[in-house]
Amino acid sequence: MDLAAILVKIAGLTLFLFTARSIYKHFKTKMARKKVLAATVPAGQGQPAPGSKPEQSKIEHALNAFLLYAWFIFMTALSLGMIINN
């Protein structure tokens, strides 16, 4: 195996590790936020506190989530492709 192939495999492994770390942190934050909201907001009262920052609309949230997950899938496929196919 030549030096270029080894460097590509190392780069692919590095990208994969950073992507896996990002996915883990995303879901960890998402679950923690869900627990905090469940503990602080009583059932049926979803009104934001006065002076709090405005939340995203549902369309905006859906598009952001789609782009985030599409990016995670792309980076995972790219990094694994760099490791396996080279």
Q: State the CB neighbour count (10 A cutoff) for residue 26.
A: 13
pLDDT in the model for residue 64: 93
Alpha helix (H) ranges present in the chain? 3-40, 58-84
What are the sequence ranges of the domains in the chain?
Answer: 3-38+57-84
pLDDT of residue 55: 79
For 15, the token pair is: 């990208």
3-state helix, strand, coil in the chain (%, to 5): 75, 0, 25
| C-alpha 17 chain-centroid distance | 13
* Span 28-65, pLDDT tens digits: 999 999 998 888 866 556 566 666 676 788 999 899 99
pLDDT tens digits, 4-34: 999 999 999 999 999 999 999 999 999 999 9
